[in-house]
Chain A
Amino acid sequence: MTDPGIEMEVGGAPDGPAARDLFSKFDPLIEQRRALLSTGLTDPFNLTMERVESPTVAICNGRRTILLGTYNYMGMTFDPEVIAAGKQALDEFGSGTTGSRVLNGTYQGHREVEAALREFYAMDHAMVFSTGYQANLGIISTLAGKDDYIILDTDSHASIYDGCALGNAQIVAFRHNDVEALEKRLKRLPPDAGKLVVLEGVYSMLGDTAPLTEMVAVSKAAGAMVLVDEAHSMGFIGEHGRGVAEAQGVIDDVDFIIGTFSKSVGTVGGFCVSNHPKFEILRLVCRPYVFTASLPPSVVATAATSIRKLMHGGNKRAHLLENSRRLHGGLKQLGFTLGTDEPQSAIIAVTMPDLERGAAMWEALLHEGLYVNLARPPATPQGMTLLRCSLCAEHTSEQVGEILGMFEAAGKRTGVL
């Protein structure tokens, strides 16, 4: 079988002596992959799930595999009411909208999911995008214009950096989660310039949370607007599951919250909620919102149903956080190095000594029947190789025990422990 992900070769320009192969810039990466895979290792970035049995179990390479790297935090993907809502919308509204939200792509379901978001966050406005990536891309690039400043954490998600690249504002970075570094930079900005501080509730690589109380306070003192991406906290952090800003008591001072449907909500899509009185104008000026097709009716129906159920997910929330504490404590006891000293979210990052041993450990876990995310630079901070585990409220206590056993066996087999 020819697999385009593996059969790439270094060099080899197409016909014509003058043709400069635009792919040659990727040669170092192609060579790194070739070297890694030539050891007979399973490609960590090319896994296929042949069947998915539940939010926590899939069949990979014919083997029953526990899923510990899916961001399916609240296990909503197989919720019977969510699935029923999606099927009904497919029957009643068809498979897709074939159009932009501002033309023919706004159906009743899009209105309903935005109403569910307004209710969930207790905010005046909600705008739904086709992905979470597009939500950051659109809001950030549209809000900050040429003479405005965007101040962001160096560990920000790619969608935040890409939102900056799409716009033409001045970009200022500050050291990860460093309140003093943020404050210093804010003070160096022209006092009358427009400023947007972009933060994340949970940083997804290490699973650490931001000191939003202090950061929002220094941002407001400098006259900046604040945007917080709560993609990895929705549904289970904060009293109503509104995220880290709610948990730290500063949600009323946050101007924009960005979120996604592809984690706790269990489908795909992105959104921004806000109380800004002029917020609705963004629907006409935000290009990643205007120039793309809207979400299919089945997707918005599943999202709306899921969001409403997440409002009452107290027991699941408690079990998820309990799972997170237990896995963190167990891995630490086994002797693994973790990204955070204490569990701060539903992400537990296990630090690997290097990419080779990280990939070997990833494969050993897969053979044990466990899927985690292998993360490496440039996605990771400080050049780290990480095995990233994200827990689900549907993981049973027995599964968490099984997972710890698999980590122990794989760790010993690969020499990581």
Chain B
Amino acid sequence: MTDRDERLQTILRLITEFNKKGVEVTEATRFAQDLEWDSLTVMDFVAAVEDEFDVLITMNRAAEIETVEQLVDAVGELQGSK
């Protein structure tokens, strides 16, 4: 498994805890529209991702992330820049 695959699997696991509606999740899934998360759920989820990967995702950065794919790439980038 590549690093990216591992990141994806970890993020999919974290999504499960917040995916109350049991929506099927792919890399194309959008957090706001498809998972129907409100801003508070997004903030809790971002905190979980931050702690899992030991990175910092600012609200400015989070606002630009719409899909699972974008999040996987952003976390990779943030880890690389540490």
Contacts and interface: CB of A to CB of B under 8 A. Distances in A.
Interface string A367-396: 000000000011001110000000000000
A181 B51 CA distance: 9
A172 B60 CA distance: 8
Contact of B40 (A164, A170, A188, A381): A381
B59 A173 contact: yes
Main SS of the interface on chain A?
mixed
Nearest to A181: B47
A154 B43 contact: yes
B35 interface: no
Contact of B56 (A175, A188, A378, A382): A188
A172 B47 CA distance: 10
Nearest to B61: A170
Nearest to B54: A188
A185 interface: yes
B54 A172 contact: no
Given A378-B39, A383-B40, A175 B47 contact: yes
A174 interface: yes
Contact of A185 (B43, B44, B50): B50
A184 interface: yes
Interface string B22-60: 000000000000000011100110110011001110111
A172 B55 CA distance: 11
Contact of A173 (B47, B51, B55): B47
Given A188-B54, A188-B55, A188-B56, A173 B43 contact: yes
Given A181-B47, A188-B54, A171 B40 contact: no
Given A173-B59, A383-B40, 13 more contacts: A154-B43, A172-B59, A173-B46, A173-B47, A174-B47, A175-B44, A175-B47, A184-B50, A184-B51, A185-B50, A185-B56, A382-B40, A383-B38
What are the 7 tightest A-B residue pairs by CB atom distance, in nearest-first order? A171-B59, A188-B56, A170-B58, A154-B43, A172-B58, A173-B43, A171-B58
Interface of B: 38-40, 43-44, 46-47, 50-51, 54-56, 58-60
14 contacts: A154-B40, A154-B43, A154-B44, A171-B59, A171-B60, A172-B56, A175-B47, A184-B50, A185-B50, A185-B56, A188-B55, A378-B38, A381-B40, A382-B40
Interface of A: 149, 154, 164, 170-175, 181, 184-185, 188-189, 377-378, 381-383
